Amino acid sequence: RILVDFDGVYMNSQVWINGTSLGTRPYGYTSFEYDLTPYVMFGGANNVIAVRVNNNQPNSRFYSGSGIYRNVWLTKVNPVHVTTDGVYVSTPTVSTASATVAVATEVQNQGTGAASVTVTATVLGPTGATVTSADSAASNVAAGATSTVNSPTLTVSSPQLWSLTAPTRYQVRVDVKVSGAVVDTYLAPLGFRTAAFNASTGFSLNGQNMKIRGVNMHHDLGALGTAVNYRAIERQVQILQSMGVNAIRTSHNPPAPEFLDITDRLGVLVLDEAFDTWTQTKTANDYGLYFNQWAQQDIQAMVKRDRNHPSIILWSIGNEVGGSTTATATNLINWVKAMDSTRPITWASNKMGGPHLSEGDDRNVAKLLDVAGYNYAPYAGDYDADHSSNPTWKLLGTETAAALRSRGIYHTPATTLTKATSMSMADRQCSSYDNEATNFGDSAQNAYSYDASRAFVAGSFIWAGFDYIGEPTPYSSWPSKSSYYGAIDTAGFPKDVYYFYKSRWTTAPMVHVLPHWNWTAGTTVTVFVYNNCDSVELFLNNASQGSKAMTSTTLRLEWSVAWASGTLRADCKVGGSVVATDQVATAGAAARVALSADRTAISADGRDLVFVTGDVQDGSGVIVPTAANSVTFSVSGPGQLVGVDNGNPVDTDSYKATSRKAFSGKVLAIVRSTGTAGTITIGASSSGLTANSVTVTAQTVP
């Protein structure tokens, strides 16, 4: 049998083979498969697969991408084979002493006669060695039929648990045999771990209580758009981990399969979500038009594809869906549980209280869910009241904060919080002082405190991890074209709030001082210092500005400092000793572009990427925080420039150009391997500045 598998096509795809229609798929995020066998011409003839996309606009509140933006696979199997995503692996019991593994294999017989099928299920350890194996009883599968073959329960002694710090991965290999001969082999991911939500104590992994320190992430990759790239996704996850993130919500749709391979490998929890709409549309041409006909098929395809990944701890059946009903929710819950009964189910509701409470039936839906998901408590729901009146409810902040910021931009007064859905600042930017938020959101600090102070709340997913293309709140019109919500901008450069979260979510001593130090004489500057130490002493040109202590409720330290040209330094102390230092210095005129690559070597496979940061510096190597110089990139050797960015939400220059203006002193180039080994040289030049270059080795893939 000849099959074609699409990981995702956005949207309303139609597929033909040699002029014969194979079908249509409205949802742009679903993985799906067609059997080409009846229509394929063999014997050297050309075969043509045609794909048509009808991406009527508008159909999304954020940038969706378009077309075949995820991988496509051509697969050849024997007539008796495992169905698409047809191996279901679960772990009924898990402890450090022993774990059991249940394997159910869906076998399809597309042969001309019945087949006596046995399945050998083998657990492979972290190194690939066989741990244990068992054969199923023979099962007679009729021609044209599909049967589920359950393997005997497998037992693994002293399993290495999958955790955030040691994400140990196993695999299950399934060998389907007919008359003793292997006709199909399938590999499924496996991780041994327990994950539990408790109405009083929140969330625990492997019996260890912890807060979910999560972010919401849309699926675009900045300058690369939505076309899937393994390294680009991996880089995003690694940057988030460096902030202390331990969980990602795939807002608001199933992710690319590569994303889950990465979260399994790196040790990040996942809330896997389907649907930004149910039957009520949010834009004129969105999935709400197709929900009634396709919802069951699409949500079950998501769960069936993703259910073996240990990183997934929750399924979500929707985000802020209008006109929600208990009948629809019941159907979705039942459809999910039919595919996987081992994980709890939630959703993300902004109608658990507050101004939207009367718009839907969300509180009754919450009673059906395993975990009640809140978007923007207390604005749209009250944790305390619900915990008191519904003590068995398990509560989670599925979307929190919605604070606004632009990297390197500071609006004053620094300590006055402005909350608005729309703003009219002349620079069309938001403030990195954490003093601007949407009217339904809050500052990062306030939202963090609301969650952290309540042990019964499992944790939260902040809006958002990275800035994303589209939905440019609070400036909804051109030229604003990307969000301001991220702790990290579209280029992958951290904003100041990244360090706030790092100070709360990580334990290695760190300190971060803001704002920059290019001001004018007579200015009194509000200085914030994020840290996780006992105390901080601030110095201006080595003159102490005083020492301040952290307490159990202190989230940042503040000083008012009369500006003077020079260096502002923060010394972070534990037990009286300096354990971390950060400083900002007054920059002179821009003199050069300094380049740094995120890796010194990449794979020469035609897909791997290197991300090169350009810093506009003065003659002493200090980044010029207001620099907006246009930087032109060149590439020689086996590499290709595939994207440029600066994280500026109002810069509408092409992501595919060879030059980009710096924003707050920084610019990014993305270079891809061409598939040949060798040395790649990336150069950067700017009028009036000293040019620079960096080299990266493209290595042959073993």
For the chain, what is the mean pLDDT?
Answer: 96
Question: What pLDDT score was predicted for residue 693?
Answer: 97
The 10 Å Cβ neighbour count of residue 151 is 24
Helix axes 444-452, 496-505, angle to 10 degrees: 20
Output the pTM of the full model.
0.97
359 belongs to the catalytic site: no
Question: What pLDDT score was predicted for residue 389?
Answer: 94
Helix axes 230-243, 496-505, angle to 10 degrees: 60
Spatial separation of the C-alpha atoms in residues 213 and 254, rounded to whole Å = 20
* 642-677 confidence digits (pLDDT tens): 999 999 999 999 999 999 999 999 999 999 999 999
Under a CB-based contact definition with an 8 Å cutoff, are residues 174 and 182 in contact? no
Question: What pLDDT score was predicted for residue 73?
Answer: 98
Question: What pLDDT score was predicted for residue 702?
Answer: 79
% of the chain beyond a pLDDT of 70: 100
Among all chains, which residue has been given the structure tokens 């679903």? 30
* 28-49 confidence digits (pLDDT tens): 999 999 999 999 999 888 999 9
* 307-358 confidence digits (pLDDT tens): 999 999 999 999 999 888 999 999 999 999 999 999 999 999 999 998 888 8
Question: What pLDDT score was predicted for residue 424?
Answer: 86
Does 116 score more than 90 pLDDT?
yes
Question: What pLDDT score was predicted for residue 324?
Answer: 81
What's the average model confidence in pLDDT over 173-177?
98
Question: What pLDDT score was predicted for residue 476?
Answer: 87
Per DSSP, what are the bridge partners of residue 609?
672
Phi-psi bin for 470: left (phi > 0), alpha (psi -120 to 50), beta? Answer: left
Please report which residue ranges of 453-509 form alpha helices under DSSP H.
496-505
* 267-309 confidence digits (pLDDT tens): 999 999 999 999 999 999 999 999 999 999 999 999 999 999 9
Among 234, 258, 273, 399, the active-site one is: 399
Any idea which of 359-363, 389-393, 577-581 has the lowest mean pLDDT? Answer: 359-363
Sheet with 312-319: strands ordered across: 345-348, 312-319, 269-273, 247-249, 212-216, 457-463, 395-401, 372-375
- Phi/psi of residue 77, each to 5°? -135, 160
* 390-427 confidence digits (pLDDT tens): 999 999 999 999 999 999 999 999 999 999 888 888 89
Q: Which helix (H) or strand (E) holds 615?
A: strand 609-617
Count the alpha carbons within 13 Å of 126 in the hemisphere toward its beta carbon: 13
Among all chains, which residue has been given the structure tokens 């080595």? 542
The CA–CA distances, whole Å, from 249 to 311, 316, 343 equal: 11, 9, 15
What's the average model confidence in pLDDT over 443-447?
96
Question: What pLDDT score was predicted for residue 44?
Answer: 85
Spatial separation of the C-alpha atoms in residues 118 and 687, rounded to whole Å = 70
399 belongs to the catalytic site: yes
Split at pLDDT 50, 70, 90, the class of 599 is: very high
Does 701 score more than 90 pLDDT?
no
* 123-145 confidence digits (pLDDT tens): 999 999 999 999 999 999 999 99
Supply the DSSP symbol for 598.
S
Q: Which helix (H) or strand (E) holds 259?
A: helix 257-266
What's the average model confidence in pLDDT over 348-374?
92
Under a CB-based contact definition with an 8 Å cutoff, are residues 207 and 194 in contact? yes
- Phi/psi of residue 387, each to 5°? -65, -35
The CA–CA distances, whole Å, from 398 to 76, 207, 247, 417, 604 equal: 41, 22, 11, 23, 40
Among 273, 320, 436, 471, the active-site one is: 320
Per DSSP, what are the bridge partners of residue 374?
349, 397
Among all chains, which residue has been given the structure tokens 């834009």? 283
Does 621 score more than 90 pLDDT?
yes
